Every structure is written in structure tokens, then in C-alpha cells.
């Protein structure tokens, strides 16, 4: 029943695309498309929640579309229902945001037809139950998001972003195609049910893991396959960036979980190590890249890379080896909870960036400042997003981080030596990335919203419309609820981990004061509600006591600044200067960061210049040589176009001979 | 009956740390002065300072936002909640299960996040210098602290401070290499987090040598009083954590009677006195480091913590 409702919603979303094209000259088309998308995703969200919370049995349906003898198999089980929930929540809030933001869109003819199709594509990937449907929906989703990235196609960096995105997406789909081909075997069984029944050998499972890690990992943003993400996510309109960062990367995580946990058979002892190594590097590299940025949206895109690393750390610890099912269930729940939490606060942050972009026309933090006075509500919602993503109590980012730490603390019982050495190192990297993320968001909030306005655009900013604010406050409220009542969300994930691993975390409904107890009460527990209440009570107690018994007078004066105030707002710290200590500590090694000061000779009146040189070592060592090599090979192969007629005929003859030989030798 | 006693003990703990924090800061200043052959201010001078600041008007910069006014209360709330959950004279406090050591560190992290934001709020360059240095120090001190927590949790089998303290007081703990490494790392992190010499100078009046003092440069009146009180609370929190984990003798167990509680309070005050003296002795015997030597200092703490955790992962006997 719920599956039919969800499919109807997906069909509605698919129909909205052509409708947007047909009605493109009407003035109400923006409101119509986004409003209808919001309603359709809301209905689908309700159906997904009903399925997940009701712990219903998996539902399947086979539609007579697609490949004639196969049809399209679609299935809604606990894992699909959870990811559908994430997709639909993101879609709902993005559509609500776009009801206001879409009014300012200049290229709406290039955005409106593809937006509902993008939503439908993501929903269909999560519901697919055979390889064809999965890959078709995956490619459809990539293509629709590519069209949205290219919506402002006159900007040259958007064109480059779209090109890199297309190449990486095609490469990812190729590896997934190979993975499904290996799983299907030589009999051509392409449905997931048949793949589950056929147990792959260890070598096959290993190959499938590596291919899935490359394919799904490149879409999710694992280092070193993340290079398209910071180019493509900022290029799209802000609500689409929020969907790509907050939701599409989670669909990629779904792909990885489905292939590796459900279809690839028994995990080997070294699978955790491989995924853990990549995930640890991704976490730290993502946040270090983000610290060097001063473009708001690029910074947020790099943070997505970091959080995907955190999710994959949890997934790596969730492999059910050596029979430690409770540890695996804890790690899987931590990873999936972070999937949900990240989609919430990343969407919130992108909406804030979109609001700032609409109000000031600028994405570069170095041109902003003081927006807390001009856009107070956006500033408040953005602050909640910053606190949540920095993993600070009592909000939700802290809960998933805490659960991941608890999963790491259970790992010494694993008998594998490589894991014993790798897991503490990855734990240190995780802690490092959490601290660096907090540093980065102090920079983002402080430079963009606090301080004094650095340009006239920031001085004249106006608050955004109520739809955008409603979407941001809705997500901020959810961040608070998920931080204060995490037990509800952990219990909702129990059917998912039961289905994938066979065990789930202990029920959190019977704990005292709604705390969460991941393993046992004697071991560790955390009560978000009580921490929040204590903070509120002690803060208000202190405020009222001081205002009552001490002074409550206040007067305004010019800033003290140690007696040397400077009227120019350019003397305050910028994003690059704020990150300078960290750039000096970490960046000299990781980015070969160098600062060159160019002093004018005495007597010259030209200004001194400070240049910061940063190298993207992954691009320079991996992609640039690859591009050069492919260009070289393409140049050589180009000569095939200019052969004489005799050479062409001999080529054809040679190919025929080889094929006949192969046919003769093949058993 | 037991519940009211537990509730009284928890409230007593909260008031005790709040009342003792300025006294500890004053005691440390007095000892430092005596070590430098000065008379020094009286140990109760911080109380007088706080009272004086509370009575004064707040002078706010013209472009300071609402966040600037709310942040002192947020920092105080986070630090006081964290300090109330550390077992000082008795383990098994009524609400100690609501936040373990990781949550306590994260609460202090929230306080630091908001303080760094306050430094950037008015848009002066001194605030920026303080905030940028503070987040650099925090980016290394916090992972080191988390690795120390991992080591202790792997030894004690729990991340709850009360359980850890009870384990360290029991005879099962034994002498372990990882505990020694964790102690050294914890002392280094505590020095960095509380802005003591050699990382930062709490008494400096030179702006370019400040980290913490630069962030709070624009605060005055009751706001400054709250921030100074929060800084004292943080210092007493770290000393209490070191005391309850590495010197847990005298800690009253849960459900103990009045005599055990009295012994607990007396031993706690003694531990504070010894801790304050050792801290001041260390501060007087070493010079403040250049800012970019601090990452090396904290890097050593991080490596020690990582090594201790690695040893615990590798074998149960380390």
C-alpha cells in the first residue's frame, strides 16, 4: 500500500517536468511546480515514515516498463523506507525554500523542468529492486542534476563544473555497472532478490566491494574521487545545491549500503580496513580543504565530503565480521543517524547561503559581514546549523558523533591486527576533523554574519522572504528535536539494522529521562534533554539573579579595540586571515601552502602584496596527469581517422580473422 | 530519603565548584606572587573583582549584536553544567549519567565556540587574532583530549566519569604505561585549554601575546564577570578531572554517609591546594612559548594520547 502511494508521488513528480515546460509562459508556474513538489514529497514522506515506524514487511511491485522480459522491480523495505524518508524530507524543505527563492531565479526555464524529475530520480534509485532500474534511475538522477548544474551556463566555471561532473558521474556508473554485472553472474540474473540468493565467492565479493566503493563513493564524495563535488554543488541554484549535498550524496551512501551489505555476501576481514582507510582520509581532507575556502558554497560542499567520511567510518565499523553483531549494529545506527542529521543541517546551511546570496548577490565571505543586524532571522537559523554541524551539545550533530565514538570504543575486541592499529588512528582523525569543523564554522559565521560589513552590498542586505525562513526554521527545529530526543530516532532505525545485520541497538524507550544508552547503562549514556534543560535553567538563573541583584544597566559606546579603533572595516579579520594559523600548521604539508610577500622598493608608491599559494595535490598528482595521458592517447588514436582505404580494409579483415579465431577457440 | 540526599549532594557539588572557582584562581595568583618574591593580592581578591564588575555598567560597542550579549550567559551555562558533573568529593552524582566525559568535553567545546564568535562580533582586529589563535589551539587540544578519554575509557570500561573514578580508586587499576602517557597528555591539554603559561598568559596586558584575553577585550561589567567566572570554573574543572582520575583517594562512594562526604570535601580541598601549587610552580619555571610552537606542544600531547590508545588496543595489559 505505501509503495503504491510513493510510486504515485514519483509519477506526479515526473509529470511536473513536462508540465513546467508546457506552462513556461505562465506567471504562476514557479509556485505551481515547487508547491506540487512539496506536496508530493510530503505525501511520500508520510508513507515512508508509516512503513518504517510500523516495522511493516517489505513490499514489492513489478511494473511492465523498461526491459521487456524483466520489467521494473521496485521494493520498499526498511532500508529503502529510511532513505526515502531522508530524500523526501530534503525534497520537502527544498521545495518550501524554493517557493520563496525561486522568485529570484533568472533562468527558471532551465531549472523548473528538471527539479521535480531530479526528485523523482532520487526516489526511484532508493526503491529499485533490480540492476536495470537502479542504474537507469541513477543515471537519470545524475543527468537531471547535471542539467540543474548547467542552468546558469553562461558562467564559464559552471561549464567546467558540469563537464567534470559528467565525466565523474559516467565513470561512477561504469563501475556500478561492472559491479552489478559481477553480481549477476553468467546466468543474467539481474533482480536483487536473485542476487541475494546467489552467494558470491570471496574474490567476487572483494571485487564488488572495490567497484561499489569507487562508484558509490565517487557520487558520495570519498577522497580522491570527490573533485567534482566542490565544483558542481556551488554551481547549481541554492535549493538544488542543498539537495545535491544533503540528499544526493545520501542516495550514493544508500547505493553503497545496498550493494555491499545486502548483495555482496559475507564480508571478509579486510573490508573494514579498506573502507576505514579511505573514510579517515576523506574526513580530515574534507575539512582541511574547507578551511582554506572563502566561497560560502564551496566551503559547504567540502564539508559534505568531511561528513561523508564520518558516515563511511561508521559503515566500515558495521561490517559483521567475527560475530560482534551488537558492535556492528551500533556502528550502523551511528552511520545512518549521521545520514539523517547531516541532511538536516547541510540543507539548512545551504538555504542560509542561498538567502545570503539573494540578499547581497555575493557568495564570497570576504565581501560580507555584519549580516546579523540586517538579516536577523536568517542569522539565527544559520547559527543553529553551524552549532549542529560542529557537533556541539545539545544539538543533533553531537549525538551521531558520540555514537560513532562509542562504536570505536567497542572495537578493541576485534581480533584483526590491522584493525587494531587502524581504528585508533581513525578515531584520532575523527576527533581532529570535529575540532577543525568547529574552527571552520566559527570562521564562516564570524566572517559572514558578525563583524562589520565589508562592502556596500552587505550594508544594504535585506531579510529574505517568509518561505525561505520557514524552511530554515523547520530544519533548525528538527535539529534541536533530534538532539534532545535522539532515542526516538535510534528506535526508528532498529528495523533497518535488523534487516541488514540481524541485530539492533537496545530499545531506547525504557531509559530514564529519555537518555540514550547504546550498550549498557554502566558503560555510557547521554541525555540530550537533561543537558539542554540544565543549560537553559542555569543560563536563565544566572541572568535573572544578576539582573535582579547586580546591575542591569547598559550603554553603547564606540568599540574599545585597546584604544586604537579603526573606522575602516577592512582592518577586521577576513576568512583567509582567520584560517592563517591553521593554514600554517596543517596547510604547509597538505596543500604546500606558501605565503609570498611582495614588498615595493623604497620610494615606490605601489601597494605591498601578499599572495597565498595553495596546491590541490590530489588534482595535481592524480587528475592532471590522467587528463594529460588521456589527451595524449586520444591524439595518437586520432590517426585512425586518416588512414588510406587499403589500411581501413586491412583493419576490417584483421578484426574478422581475430573474431573467427576467438569463436573457434571458445569452448 | 536517599533521593533527597542525592539531590542535596548534587546541588552542593554545583555550589561548591561555583564558590571555590574564584578562590582557586586567587590562591594560584598568590602562590605565583610569593614564588616571585612579591606579596601578591589576597586569595579572595577575585571575589572582590567579580563583585565590582557585576555592579558596573556594561559598555557595549555600537555594532555589537544580540549574540554578543547572550554569549556570556551561554558560556557560563555550558561551563557550569560541565563542572557540576565532575565528581569532586563524591562519585555517582545524581545526574552524572546524563553526560559522560566526551559530553563534558563537548560542552566546554561549545563554550569555546561561542567565545570565539564573540571575539569576531565587534569586528576589531584584536578579537580576530584571539579567535583565530584560539581555534588553532582547540583544533589540536580537543583531539588530544578525546584520545585521552579513549585511553581511560578502554582501561576503565566506561566513559562515565564516576565509573572511571571508582575504577581508578579500586585495586584493579595497577600501574600501566598508557595511564602514565595519558596523565602527561592530560596535563599538557589542561594547560592549553585553560590558557596558562606556556600556551597563553592569563595576566598579560600585551595584546599580541594574548589568545583568551584578546577574545574578551570588548566585554565589560557583568558580562566580563561571567566570562572570568567561567574561565575559573573551567580551570577548577580540569584540576578536578585530573584529581578524580589520577588521585582518587578520599572520594566518597555513592550512597556514603556524612563522615565520608566530609572526608571527601576535605581531601578535595587538599587536592586543589596541591594542584594549584604544582601548576603555579610549573608556570613560574617556564616561559611562554611563541604562538607557533604551541602546535608542536599540543602535537606531542596528541601523539602521547594516540600512543596510549594504540597500546590499549593492542594489548589489555598495557
pLDDT surpasses 90 at A403? yes
A387 touches chain B (CB under 8 A): yes
Answer whether B306 sits within 8 Å of A425, measured CB to CB.
yes
- List the helix and strand counts (H, then E) for chain A: 30, 5
Rounded CA separation A252/A192 (Å): 17
Answer whether B125 sits within 8 Å of A535, measured CB to CB.
no
In three-state secondary structure terms, A126 is helix
Answer whether A432 sits within 8 Å of B125, measured CB to CB.
no
Rounded CA separation A451/A458 (Å): 11
Give residue B318's pLDDT: 67
Residues 206-235 of B with CB under 8 A from A: 207, 217-218, 221-222, 226
Cell triple for residue A643? 588512414
Which tens digits make up the pLDDT trace of A581-615? 999 999 999 999 999 999 999 999 999 999 999 99
Distance from CA of A87 to the nearest CA of B (A): 30
Residues 511-570 of A with CB under 8 A from B: 512-513, 515, 521-527, 530-531, 534-536, 538-539, 542-543, 546, 550-562, 565-566, 569
Rounded CA separation A417/B167 (Å): 28
Distance from CA of B35 to the nearest CA of A (A): 31
Rounded CA separation B185/A539 (Å): 32
Cell triple for residue A129? 529492486
Which tens digits make up the pLDDT trace of A344-376? 999 999 999 999 999 999 999 999 999 999 999
Mean pLDDT of chain A: 91
Look-up of cell digits 547581497: A360
Q: Flag the least confident range among A181-195, A650-664, B78-92, B154-168.
A: A181-195
Predicted ipTM of the assembly? 0.95
Write out the H or E segment, with its range, that includes residue A60: strand A59-63
Answer whether A421 sits within 8 Å of B125, measured CB to CB.
no
B10 touches chain A (CB under 8 A): no
Q: At what angle do helices A396-409 and B125-156 cross, to 10 degrees?
A: 40
The conformation of residue A266, written as its DSSP 8-state character, comes to S
pLDDT surpasses 70 at A483? yes
Classify each residue of A91-112 as buried b or exposed e, where b means 16 or more C-beta atoms within 10 Å of its C-beta: bbbbbbbbbbbbebbeebebbb
A405 touches chain B (CB under 8 A): yes
Which tens digits make up the pLDDT trace of A44-93? 999 999 999 887 888 888 888 877 777 888 989 999 999 999 999 999 99
Q: Could you tell me the residue ranges of all domains in chain B?
A: 2-314
Cα end-to-end span (Å), chain B? 43
Rounded CA separation B288/B179 (Å): 27
Residues 182-211 of B with CB under 8 A from A: 207
Answer whether B292 sits within 8 Å of A560, measured CB to CB.
no
For residues A451 and A578, is the Cβ–Cβ distance under 8 A? no
A398 touches chain B (CB under 8 A): yes
Cell triple for residue A585? 600548521
Q: From the list B61, B81, B163, which residue is nearest A535 (CB)?
A: B81
Answer whether B62 sits within 8 Å of A558, measured CB to CB.
yes
In three-state secondary structure terms, A327 is helix
A447 touches chain B (CB under 8 A): yes
Rounded CA separation A211/A174 (Å): 9
Q: For residue A140, how many other CB atoms are within 10 A of its CB? A: 18
Nearest CA in chain B to A373: B65
Which tens digits make up the pLDDT trace of B154-212? 998 889 998 899 899 888 877 888 999 999 999 999 999 998 988 888 887 776 778 88
A345 touches chain B (CB under 8 A): no
Q: Which of B76, B86, B124 to mutate to test the interface with A (most CBs of A within 10 A)?
A: B124
B113 touches chain A (CB under 8 A): yes
Residues 133-162 of A with CB under 8 A from B: none
Q: From the list A406, A412, A579, which residue is nearest B312 (CB)?
A: A412
Q: How many residues are there in chain A?
A: 667
A100: nearest Cα among A386, A515, A474: A474
Q: How many CB pairs under 8 A join A and B?
A: 284
pLDDT surpasses 80 at A281? yes
Amino acid at each position: 500500500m505505501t509503495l503504491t502511494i510513493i510510486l504515485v508521488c514519483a509519477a506526479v513528480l515526473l509529470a511536473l517536468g513536462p508540465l513546467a515546460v508546457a506552462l513556461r509562459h505562465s506567471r504562476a508556474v514557479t509556485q505551481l511546480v515547487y508547491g506540487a513538489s512539496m506536496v508530493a514529497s510530503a505525501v511520500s514522506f508520510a508513507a515512508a515514515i508509516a512503513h518504517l515506524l510500523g516495522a511493516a514487511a517489505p513490499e514489492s511491485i513489478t511494473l511492465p516498463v523498461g526491459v521487456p522480459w524483466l520489467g521494473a522491480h521496485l521494493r520498499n523495505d526498511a532500508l529503502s523506507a529510511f532513505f526515502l524518508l531522508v530524500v523526501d524530507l530534503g525534497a520537502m524543505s527544498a521545495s518550501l525554500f524554493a517557493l520563496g527563492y525561486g522568485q529570484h531565479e533568472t533562468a527558471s526555464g532551465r531549472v523548473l523542468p528538471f527539479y521535480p524529475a531530479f526528485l523523482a530520480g532520487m526516489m526511484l534509485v532508493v526503491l529499485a529492486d533490480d540492476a536495470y532500474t537502479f542504474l537507469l534511475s541513477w543515471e537519470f538522477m545524475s543527468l537531471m542534476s547535471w542539467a540543474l548544474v548547467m542552468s546558469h551556463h553562461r558562467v564559464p566555471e559552471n561549464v567546467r563544473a558540469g563537464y567534470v561532473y559528467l565525466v565523474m558521474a559516467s565513470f561512477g556508473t561504469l563501475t556500478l555497472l561492472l559491479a552489478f554485472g559481477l553480481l549477476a553472474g553468467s546466468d543474467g540474473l539481474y533482480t536483487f532478490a536473485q542476487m541475494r540468493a546467489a552467494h558470491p565467492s570471496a574474490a567476487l565479493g572483494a571485487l564488488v566491494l572495490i567497484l561499489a566503493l569507487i562508484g558509490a563513493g565517487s557520487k558520495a564524495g570519498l577522497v580522491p574521487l570527490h573533485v567534482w563535488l566542490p565544483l558542481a554543488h556551488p554551481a547549481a541554484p541554492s535549493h538544488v545545491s542543498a539537495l545535491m549535498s544533503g540528499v544526493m550524496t545520501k542516495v550514493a551512501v544508500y547505493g553503497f549500503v545496498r550493494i555491499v551489505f545486502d548483495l555482496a555476501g559475507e564480508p571478509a576481514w579486510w573490508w573494514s580496513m579498506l573502507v576505514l582507510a579511505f573514510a579517515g582520509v576523506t574526513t580530515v581532507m574534507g575539512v582541511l580543504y574547507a578551511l582554506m575556502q572563502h566561497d560560502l558554497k564551496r566551503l559547504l560542499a567540502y564539508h559534505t565530503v568531511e561528513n561523508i567520511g564520518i558516515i563511511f567510518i561508521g559503515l566500515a565499523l558495521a561490517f559483521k565480521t567475527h560475530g560482534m553483531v551488537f558492535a556492528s549494529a551500533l556502528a550502523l545506527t551511528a552511520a545512518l543517524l549521521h545520514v539523517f542529521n547531516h541532511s538536516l543541517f547541510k540543507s539548512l546551511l545551504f538555504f542560509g547561503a542561498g538567502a545570503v546570496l539573494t540578499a547581497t548577490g555575493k557568495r564570497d565571505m570576504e565581501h560580507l559581514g555584519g549580516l546579523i543586524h540586517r538579516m536577523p532571522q536568517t542569522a539565527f537559523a544559520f547559527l543553529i546549523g553551524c552549532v549542529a554541524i560542529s557537533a556541539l551539545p545539545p544539538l543533533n550533530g553531537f549525538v551521531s558523533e558520540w555514537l560513532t565514538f562509542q562504536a570505536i570504543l567497542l572495537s578493541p575486541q576485534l581480533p584483526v591486527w590491522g584493525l587494531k592499529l587502524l581504528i585508533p588512528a581513525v578515531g584520532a582523525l575523527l576527533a581532529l576533523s570535529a575540532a577543525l569543523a568547529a574552527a571552520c564554522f566559527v570562521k564562516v559565521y564570524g566572517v559572514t554574519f558578525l563583524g562589520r560589513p565589508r562592502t556596500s552590498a552587505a550594508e544594504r542586505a535585506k531579510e529574505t522572504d517568509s518561505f525561505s525562513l520557514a524552511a530554515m526554521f523547520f530544519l533548525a527545529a528538527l535539529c534541536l528535536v533530534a538532539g534532545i530526543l535522539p532515542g526516538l530516532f535510534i528506535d526508528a532505525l532498529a528495523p533497518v539494522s535488523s534487516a541488514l545485520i540481524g541485530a539492533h541497538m537496545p530499545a531506547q524507550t525504557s531509559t530514564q529521562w529519555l537518555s540514550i544508552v547504546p550498550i549498557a547503562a554502566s558503560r555510557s549514556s547521554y541525555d540530550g534533554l537533561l543537558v539542554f534543560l540544565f543549560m537553559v535553567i542555569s543560563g536563565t538563573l544566572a541572568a535573572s539573579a544578576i539582573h535582579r541583584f547586580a546591575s542591569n544597566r547598559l550603554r553603547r559606546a564606540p568599540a574599545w579595540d585597546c584604544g586604537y579603533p579603526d573606522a575602516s572595516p577592512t582592518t577586521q579579520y577576513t576568512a583567509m586571515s582567520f584560517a592563517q594559523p591553521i593554514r600554517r600548521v596543517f596547510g604547509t604539508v597538505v596543500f604546500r601552502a606558501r605565503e609570498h610577500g611582495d614588498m615595493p622598493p623604497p620610494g615606490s608608491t605601489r601597494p605591498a602584496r601578499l599572495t597565498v599559494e595553495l596546491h590541490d595535490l590530489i588534482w595535481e598528482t592524480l587528475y592532471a596527469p590522467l587528463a594529460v595521458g588521456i589527451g595524449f592517447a586520444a591524439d595518437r588514436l586520432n590517426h585512425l581517422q586518416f588512414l588510406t582505404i587499403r589500411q581501413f580494409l586491412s583493419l576490417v579483415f584483421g578484426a574478422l580473422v581475430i573474431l573467427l579465431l576467438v569463436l573457434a577457440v571458445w569452448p | 530519603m536517599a533521593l533527597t540526599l542525592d539531590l542535596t549532594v548534587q546541588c552542593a557539588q554545583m555550589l561548591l565548584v561555583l564558590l571555590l572557582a574564584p578562590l582557586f584562581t586567587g590562591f594560584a595568583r598568590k602562590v605565583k606572587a610569593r614564588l616571585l618574591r612579591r606579596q601578591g593580592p589576597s586569595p579572595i581578591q577575585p571575589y572582590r573583582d567579580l563583585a565590582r564588575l557585576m555592579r558596573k555598567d556594561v559598555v557595549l560597542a555600537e555594532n555589537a549584536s544580540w549574540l554578543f550579549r547572550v554569549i556570556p550567559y551561554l558560556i557560563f551555562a555550558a561551563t557550569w553544567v560541565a563542572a557540576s558533573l565532575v565528581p569532586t568529593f563524591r562519585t555517582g552524582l545524581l545526574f552524572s549519567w546524563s553526560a559522560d566525559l566526551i559530553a563534558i568535553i563537548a560542552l566546554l567545546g561549545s563554550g569555546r565556540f561561542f567565545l570565539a564568535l564573540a571575539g569576531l562580533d565587534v569586528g576589531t582586529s584584536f578579537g580576530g587574532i584571539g579567535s583565530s589563535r584560539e581555534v588553532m589551539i582547540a583544533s589540536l587540544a580537543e583531539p588530544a583530549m578525546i584520545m585521552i578519554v579513549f585511553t581511560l575509557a578502554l582501561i576503565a570500561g566506561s566513559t562515565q566519569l564516576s565509573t572511571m573514578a571508582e575504577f581508578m580508586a579500586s585495586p584493579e587499576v595497577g600501574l600501566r604505561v598508557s595511564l602514565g602517557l595519558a596523565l602527561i597528555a592530560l596535563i599538557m591539554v589542561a594547560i592549553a585549554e585553560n590558557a596558562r603559561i606556556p600556551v597563553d598568559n592569563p595576566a598579560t596586558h600585551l595584546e599580541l601575546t594574548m589568545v583568551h584575553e584578546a577574545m574578551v577585550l570588548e566585554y565589560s561589567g557583568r558580562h566580563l564577570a561571567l566570562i572570568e567566572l567561567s574561565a575559573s570554573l573551567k580551570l577548577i574543572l580540569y584540576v578536578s578531572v585530573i584529581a578524580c582520575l589520577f588521585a582518587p583517594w578520599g572520594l566518597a562512594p555513592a550512597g556514603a554517609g556524612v563522615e565520608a562526604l566530609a572526608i571527601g570535601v576535605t581531601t578535595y580541598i587538599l587536592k586543589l591546594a596541591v594542584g594549584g601549587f604544582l601548576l603555579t610552580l610549573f608556570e613560574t619555571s617556564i616561559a611562554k612559548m611563541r604562538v607557533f610552537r604551541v602546535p608542536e606542544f599540543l602535537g606531542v600531547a596528541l601523539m602521547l594520547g594516540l600512543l596510549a590508545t594504540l597500546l590499549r588496543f593492542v594489548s589489555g595489559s598495557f
